[in-house]
């Protein structure tokens, strides 16, 4: 495992502080606030620590306040129900006594059943694409010096975007985006960790899908963008240290909000997870 990936794994390894309460550190990715995917991934880890023999199959969360990346985050887990097949947990994330995220997670025992899925869409192979970090190196000379570290930083999750948008010179495009994702280096065989890492990564390159038709990005003048909620459904087992295609579309934008959907496929074309998110996309 690369050191940068180990730091992310350690970030998700929450410290128990008693009575189904956990505490996690925050990381600074160069954004004004805590990255939403970090809070989602840590919330899922907190809930998973209170469940045995069952893996998360769905997660639904609301972002309530921006998080401060200079402060730790406290996670309270509430044991809503443990049934014969499913367990449900509610998680509240707090900083300074104020709630920044609330969510519910459902866990299920392993079970066989009917099988079908959407076909994997066509996409270039990841080996034929530049990484997000390589694109950042090309953009760095064109952005203010204070923004360069976030473009050039080492990344635990390698992202290779298909036909990326230049955030400095956006153009009108269809509401569709694709990226290949994988964790850098080999990971342990822990399905809980792989789910938490996908949850963390699923917030990257997502809300921008709803900006494509309007020719703007999060760096455009007078734009206020933020994730409002996030949902994930885990369909099948996967590994985050192997390439996954994240295929995203945006069916609608209105009332200052953009709605986004995503599907994760492995290289064999198996649909392993699906996501949705509504985001604030307000032009002041």
Tell me the catalytic residues: 203, 227, 277
Contact 240, 202 (CB under 8 A): no
Helical ranges in 153-242 per DSSP H: 191-201
By three-state DSSP, how is residue 44 classified?
Answer: helix
Gyration radius (Cα) of the chain, Å: 18
| Beta-carbon count within 10 A of 37 CB | 21
Q: Which residues contact 107 (CB under 8 A, 6 or more apart)?
A: 47, 48, 51, 54, 55, 56, 57, 86, 87, 88, 89
| Beta-carbon count within 10 A of 141 CB | 8
């Amino acid at each position: 495992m690369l050191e940068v990936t180990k730091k992310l794994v350690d970030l998700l390894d929450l410290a128990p502080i008693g009575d189904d309460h956990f505490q996690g550190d925050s990381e600074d990715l160069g954004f004004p606030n805590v990255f939403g995917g970090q809070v989602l991934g840590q919330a899922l880890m907190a809930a998973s620590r209170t469940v045995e023999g069952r893996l998360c199959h769905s997660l639904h969360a609301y972002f309530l306040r921006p998080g401060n990346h200079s402060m730790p985050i406290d996670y309270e887990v509430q044991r809503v129900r443990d049934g014969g097949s499913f367990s449900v947990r509610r998680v509240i994330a707090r900083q300074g006594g104020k709630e920044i995220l609330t969510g519910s997670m459902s866990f299920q025992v392993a079970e066989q059943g009917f099988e079908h899925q959407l076909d994997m869409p066509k996409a270039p192979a990841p080996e034929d694409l530049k990484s997000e970090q390589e694109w950042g190196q090309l953009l760095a000379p064109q952005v203010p010096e204070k923004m360069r570290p976030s473009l050039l930083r080492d990344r635990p999750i390698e992202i290779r975007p298909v036909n990326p948008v230049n955030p400095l010179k956006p153009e009108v495009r269809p509401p569709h985006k694709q990226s290949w994702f994988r964790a850098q280096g080999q990971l342990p065989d822990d399905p809980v960790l792989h789910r938490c890492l996908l949850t963390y990564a699923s917030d990257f390159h997502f809300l921008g899908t709803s900006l494509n038709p309007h020719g703007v990005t999060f760096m455009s003048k007078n734009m206020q963008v933020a994730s409002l909620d996030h949902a994930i459904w885990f369909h099948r087992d996967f590994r985050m240290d192997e390439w996954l295609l994240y295929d995203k579309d945006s069916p609608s934008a209105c009332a200052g909000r953009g709605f986004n959907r995503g599907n994760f496929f492995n290289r064999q074309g198996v649909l392993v997870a699906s996501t949705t998110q509504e985001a604030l996309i307000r032009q002041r």
